[in-house]
Amino acid sequence: MKIGHFITFEGGEGVGKSTQARLLADRLKVAGHVVVVTREPGGTPLAEKIRDLILQQRPKSPEAEFLMFAAARAEHLSAVIRPALEAGQTVICDRFIDSTRVYQGDVFGVERALILAVEQLVVAPTIPDLTIVLDLDPTVGLKRAAERGTLSRYDKARIEIHDDLRQGFLTIAQSEPDRCVIIDAARSVDVIAADVWTAVAARLVPACG
| Residue numbers at the binding site for ligand TMP (CB under 6 A) | 40-41, 69, 95, 99-100, 103-104, 152, 154
* Min dist. Cβ of residue 99 to ligand TMP (A): 4
* Min dist. Cβ of residue 34 to ligand TMP (A): 24
- The per-residue b/e assignment along 185-206, b for 16 or more CB within 10 angstroms, e otherwise, is beeeeeebbebbbebbbeebbe
SS3 6: strand
Q: CA-CA distance, 82 to 79, in Å (whole number)?
A: 7
* Min dist. Cβ of residue 42 to ligand TMP (A): 8
Q: How far is CA 120 from CA 20, 51, 114, 116, in A?
A: 28, 22, 10, 6
Of the pair 33, 99, the CB lying nearest ligand TMP is at: 99
* Min dist. Cβ of residue 205 to ligand TMP (A): 25
Of the pair 56, 175, the CB lying nearest ligand TMP is at: 56
Q: CA-CA distance, 111 to 166, in Å (whole number)?
A: 19
Of the pair 69, 197, the CB lying nearest ligand TMP is at: 69
